[in-house]
Amino acid sequence: MYLLAPANAVQLMNRAMWFKKPFARELAQEKGVEFGYELKGQPETITEAPDLYWGYHLPNMFATEWYYHPERRVDLLKRLSHLVKLNPQYLNFHGVHLLWQPPAEQYIHRYANYSDAEEHLKVLDSNIEFYRELKKLFPNTRITLENYPPFVFYHRDNCYTTMTYLYTGTGRLKDMLYLKEKAGVEILLDIEHLILTLNFINRERNYADIPVKKIEELSEIDKKLYEIYGYYTKRDFIPYADGKIQLEDMVKTIGAKIYHVTGGVQDTDGKKIITHVPIELNDQIFRQNLRLILAQKPEAILNEVADSSTGKEWDYLRPNETEISFENLCQILLEEIK
């Protein structure tokens, strides 16, 4: 198994020092865990391959730009072409996001679905097409689709606020399994993103007061979308599911081999954003979820904790928060890997 550190091109030397710390050395010696990186940033910044296991995370909006701007598709692929010879172990992307932004004051309405069923099917086809083009360009590299929550934060003054709105698209829940079956897309499972998705779909934590208005008459296409996504998604209705979807069931069903982890289980506490928060040694929820991951015999786990340099939204974190969480994760893995 590989334990990965997040890095941009200029952080590699610093991140390599993490692998020489006492708990990391002990983890390698006692449990056989190896180390590597998931590189982030614009593709043009990646000019050399690290000398360890590594993957590359495409910019968040890459597949979305592919969907909305067919005239840019050739140029988008050209931006990645130099990475082929660098031979990453995997190339990860977020699915297509369907873009809109309702007025923030419309509390309930901003979670209502704004897209027709036909567009949901169209965006799935676009995701398949995008994956196949990536696979043509990178025939020897694994292409992974990362899950993404069905909501996003509003922006104000180039900063996230603590308010969210519905953000549909691909890679939200069970549609990942549909894309895997139809096109062979491999799933990279972000556990925090999955927890946030289930908070919303199951109406838990800070989404507990979002009402569930059920669709009275389901059309055939409504039923088809439910089978694909695992929840009802109809225009002017807030997405919901039949009964509670369990995290454990989803992790086992997806059976991913590459994971992103953080200490987060909620998107906001109303005062600040609390995603990508630290991994704590005594966090029993984190340990329980990690055991779920380890039971899947993962190939790689990435520590995706933020720090104060990540953005203004996380300025309450310490400058070395990501590094501290990496050390904590090493110590936890020493105890949890059997």
Per-residue pLDDT at 141: 97
Q: For residue 153, give every residue at least 6 positions away whose Cβ sits within 8 Å of its Cβ, in sequence order, or none.
A: 160, 161, 162, 163, 164, 267, 268, 273
Tokens linked to 252? 């086992």
Per-residue pLDDT at 101: 84
Whether the CB-CB separation of 168 and 113 falls below 8 Å is answered with yes
For the chain, domains (ranges, CATH) are 2-336 (3.20.20.150)
Q: What is the pLDDT of residues 276-308, one digit of tens each?
A: 999 999 999 999 999 999 999 999 999 999 999
Per-residue pLDDT at 38: 98
> Which residues share a beta bridge with 5?
37
Mean pLDDT per block of 10 residues along the chain (338 residues) reads 97 96 98 98 97 97 97 98 98 96 79 94 97 97 97 90 95 97 96 98 95 93 96 95 96 98 95 96 98 98 97 95 98 97
CA distance linking residue 2 with residue 338, whole number of Å? 16
Q: What is the pLDDT of residues 301-322, one digit of tens each?
A: 999 999 999 999 999 999 999 9
Q: What is the pLDDT of residues 119-172, one digit of tens each?
A: 999 999 999 999 999 999 999 999 999 999 999 999 888 889 999 999 999 999
Per-residue pLDDT at 108: 76
Per-residue pLDDT at 209: 93
